[in-house]
Structure 1
Amino acid sequence: MPLPDRGQTRRLALAGSEGAVQLCRDFSRRALLSWHWLPAVDEEQQAVSEDVLLMVSELVTNACLHAPGGPRELRLHWDGDRLRVEVADASPVPPRLRSNADPAIPGGHGLRVVDRLARAWGSLPEGGGKQVWLEVPSPLDRHFPR
């Protein structure tokens, strides 16, 4: 099996919320395929890849719901050790975890999912809006020794 490409950034410019979640999931899946995260060689790699797609969906959905004009851009940067996902939008308001969210009420749980699955996450001001980011360790270390 060839070594996966490392140190790459993929960018997807977005114009509005319509179809953005599926577009971003498809874009992310193609990136994971090119970086050999998919098809997965074991259950752990499959789980990490599915978690990434879920978290991309959650960040993009939040931008669709809470930022004027929806998400502006999705960026994926993989350096061989970690994947960083960034979603830029026009709202300067940083995301926050809901406290005491009722699990029986739909909505408001996306950041809780990100908080549990990502190694780290946060937001930074960017161009009058913000960038919400998360990081996930690479699942490939066992399969591609350095």
Structure 2
Amino acid sequence: MSTTRQQPPGDLGPEPHGVGAAAPATGSGADEGAPGGAVRTLALGSASGIVPLARDFTRQALYDWGWLPAATADRRAAAEDVLLVVSELVTNACLHAEGPDELRVACDGKVLRLEVTDRGAGQPAPRNPHRAGRPGGHGMFIVQRLCLDWGVLRTPGAPGKTVWAELAAPS
């Protein structure tokens, strides 16, 4: 597990047009969870095009929760950071953990938590030392740089794990 501090967001450009399609049938479109919080879950096990599906699902949650459309560059950057972290977590599960089973997106108004459950036994870690010019191996380095915190949860006696990451909600 690694603890990092949020870095100043960069300007990642304008929001793409036509974004915000309805959540797919494999996901829970309704918000669930504790008072003051919202949770959405998307089953990924048998889906095709998993990474774009996970990004679209998360983007729709951000629209529904008022993160998008973004009124400022900082708010747009915060939403883009969330989408990038979702892409990295799901891609890592595809490449290194026998594929993702589920994506969970939860927000309590202050922190947005992403969880990707997979079947793999490996331990994700940022490539150290990080070399920007080297292809591949940047996923967990990106997660570490953008997130407040991240880690791995395992259930004793059960296969797989849940890789989670937390980002600050825009102010």
Decide: shared fold, TM above 0.5: yes
Pairing 1:129–2:152 present: no
Choose between structure 1 and 2: higher helix proportion.
1
Percent identity of the aligned residues?
Answer: 50
Contact 2:106 2:113 in 1 (8 A): yes
* 2:116 alignment counterpart: 87
Q: Which runs of 5+ in 2 are unaligned?
A: 1-34
Q: Which runs of 5+ in 1 are unaligned?
A: 142-146
Contact 1:16 1:71 in 2 (8 A): no
Counterparts of 1:50 and 1:60, CA distance in 2: 15
Q: CA RMSD in A?
A: 1.5
2:83 aligned to which of 53, 76, 83: 53
User: 1:106/1:17 Cα in 2 relative to 1: closer, same or farther (>3 Å)?
Assistant: farther
Give per-residue Cα distances to partners, 1:75-122, cap 9 Å, x unaligned: 001111110000000012221111123322211001111101001111
After superposing on structure 2, the runs of 4+ consecutive aligned residues of structure 1 that deviate more than 4 Å are none
Residues 1-146 of structure 1 mapped to structure 2, 5 A cutoff: 6-16=36-46, 18-68=48-98, 70-126=99-155, 127-139=158-170, 141=171
Number of positions where the alignment pairs a residue of Structure 1 with one of Structure 2: 135
TM-score (norm 2): 0.75
What amino acid is the match of 1:135? E
Choose between structure 1 and 2: higher strand proportion.
1
Contact 1:17 1:64 in 2 (8 A): no
Give per-residue Cα distances to partners, 1:9-39, cap 9 Å, x unaligned: 1000012574100000000000000000000
Contact 2:113 2:164 in 1 (8 A): yes
